[in-house]
Amino acid sequence: MSEVEAVQIIAESLKEQGIEYVFGIIGIPVIELSMAFQAAGLKYIGMRNEQAACYAAQAIGFLTGKPGVCLVVSGPGLLHVTGGMANAQVNCWPMLVIAGSTSQDHEGIGGFQEYPQVEMSRPYCKYAARPPTASLIPLHVEKAVRYATYGRPGVSYLDFPGNILQSRVQQDKIYKVLSCPPAPLVYPAHDDVIRAANLLRSAKRPLVIIGKGAAYAHAENILRHFIENTNLPFLPTPMGKGVVSDTAPQCVSSARSLALQKADVVLLLGARLNWILHFGKPPRYSADVKFIQVDICPEELHNSVQASIAIQSDIKPFAEQIFEQMNAVNFEFLSENPWWEELAKKCKNNREQVRSMAMQTTAPLNYYTVFHHLRELIPRDAIIVSEGANTMDIGRSMLFNILPRHRLDAGTFGTMGVGPGFAVAAALYCRDRFPGKRVICVEGDSAFGFSGMELETMVRYKLPITIVIVNNNGIYGGFDQETYDAIRNGGDLSQVTPPSALGVQVHYEEMLKMFGGSGYFCKEIPELQAALKDAQKLTDKPTIINVAINPSSDRKPQTFNWLTESKL
């Protein structure tokens, strides 16, 4: 009977479970494993930072519904991805992390990069294990993929000591498993759907909130029919954008504060009442608001407020059933309703205010001007990756999504540094499934600094990503050259340089010269327009458009802080 190498068993087990992409950084003891992945037909993408590899793996999991794999070395290699593991777990995105570890006969005596990796990973995972023998690898791979995708998606971790990776097993001793079936759908209790429909029909000020759970569930077709036919106002969460188009007449994102504060019945579809939705509490919401909460995870129900109706269900079957109930009585929330008239008026006023800010085209530019002209020139079906403080927050309201799963940003965990990794994953996804679709990665200058060397990864794999850096010289805000120099004139620079300050108008676009290319530095709108048009012509390389804006540019005044203040 022939023997099979353990690395081959791992690779073929992943292939059997439908895994397609692996992102990582190799070294002892996983070098041979990375080559085995390629030999088995998996796509291996070598990154420059373990965190970015982890971000890419989870983004591909969200986009495809199959876990991406993040491959790292032992000890520090795994420790570097714990932030990414936590981000995927909190975001509910499927991912499998695989790490090498010190050989078992070196444990306890100071082995190379020895660390309690399985125990350390458990807080960030749904499943963490070390297969005890190479023959049991297929069992643990199947279980890891199943845990990552079933129920609320999340992270699995598999640990492989060096001696296991170097071992061989007789063919007939290898544990046989089948491919993990698709996750079973959870259907809602029919009586709960009827109660939800009755409550929604009786509402004077209804509101539908569409979360990224609806995007992941591919519920866009039924939800578009539901919103169009009922004419209910809706708000998307940041990565729920595009499930129903941001340009739909029922979208009230421009009146977000009013919609949340005055709604009397809120239908939550795959969205959690966490900080992004202000915990569902006053003063952000009416004290007597009624929530209809629909979530795949029963533990999430009633989590921050007592829902009037709490339904465990996949979003798609619930949406189909409530649409049937509403359609049976030809329900339509008429545009002449006072609630719609109030929302429409607020939307119009806020749009006019934003437009006036966007029309301020003299240098130095502001966020609204940059995003207005960016929106006019990027493809309407582009995947938009975004991170940064004001860059991301303002961009959410001004860069529209008409398709689902076309917005990737810092998400529930608010993680900075995700952008380039997300963009790499999105570009690979487009190349393999939607050739010609563009990826626009919109970064604050601070956020870009976390993972900027993934530019080399983009060049190496010929990914035509347009990186737009909205450069305000700092974290939240920076300083113009004159003020910056005056502040730092004399004294210890570590004492006088403001913690929020970054270098003034740093020429990040010059990084492309390292690869024989060139980027764009823009201060005026015509320069930005020309750069965007040039960037769309590139088919096999990334580009950077570095846009200098007013360092003191800020968001328009907010009714409420983004974070509802604690009353404790």
User: Which helix (H) or strand (E) element contains residue 13?
Assistant: helix 6-16
Pick the CATH number of 360-548 from 3.40.50.970, 3.40.50.300, 1.20.1270.360, 3.40.50.150: 3.40.50.970
Per-residue confidence (pLDDT) for residue 553, from 0 to 100: 86
pTM of the predicted model as reported, rounded to 2 decimal places: 0.96
| Per-residue confidence in pLDDT tens, the chain, 568 aa | 699 999 999 999 999 999 999 999 999 999 999 999 999 999 999 999 999 999 999 999 999 999 999 999 999 999 999 999 999 999 999 999 999 999 998 989 998 899 999 999 999 999 999 999 999 999 999 999 999 999 999 999 999 999 999 999 999 999 999 999 999 999 999 999 999 999 999 999 999 999 999 999 999 999 999 999 999 999 999 999 999 999 999 999 999 999 999 999 999 999 999 999 999 999 999 999 999 999 999 999 999 999 999 999 999 999 999 999 999 999 999 999 999 999 999 999 999 999 999 999 999 999 999 999 999 999 999 999 999 989 999 999 999 999 999 999 999 999 999 999 999 999 999 999 999 999 999 999 999 999 999 999 999 999 999 999 999 999 999 999 999 999 999 889 999 999 999 999 999 999 999 999 999 999 999 999 999 999 999 999 999 999 999 999 876 666 556 554 544 4
Give the CATH number of domain 3-173.
3.40.50.970
Whether the CB-CB separation of 554 and 477 falls below 8 Å is answered with yes
Q: How far is CA 256 from CA 85, 202, 229, 325, 558, in A?
A: 31, 22, 22, 27, 11
Per-residue confidence (pLDDT) for residue 568, from 0 to 100: 45
**Residues in contact with 191: Cβ distance below 8 Å, sequence separation at least 6, in sequence order:** none
Half-sphere exposure of residue 561: CA atoms within 13 angstroms, side-chain side: 5
Q: How far apart are the first and last CA of the chain?
A: 68
DSSP assignment of 53-101, as one string? HHHHHHHHHHHHSS-EEEEE-STHHHHTTHHHHHHHHHHT--EEEEEEE
Where are the CATH 3.40.50.1220 domain residues in the chain? 190-338
Q: Does domain 190-338 have CATH number 3.30.300.30?
A: no
Whether the CB-CB separation of 266 and 291 falls below 8 Å is answered with yes
549 DSSP 8-state letter: B
Torsion angle, CA of 80/86/91/96, rounded to 10 degrees? Answer: 70
Helices (H), 309-453: 315-328, 338-358, 367-377, 390-398, 419-433, 445-451
**Residues in contact with 456: Cβ distance below 8 Å, sequence separation at least 6, in sequence order:** 48, 514, 515
Residues forming beta bridges with residue 169, ordered by sequence position: 4
Whether cis (ω within 30° of 0) applies to the bond prior to 404 is no
Where are the CATH 3.40.50.970 domain residues in the chain? 3-173, 360-548
Torsion angle, CA of 170/175/176/180, rounded to 10 degrees? Answer: -140
Per-residue confidence (pLDDT) for residue 443, from 0 to 100: 97
Cα separation, 157 vs 18, in Å, equals: 17
**Residue in the block written with tokens 């790292």:** 72
Cα separation, 123 vs 83, in Å, equals: 11
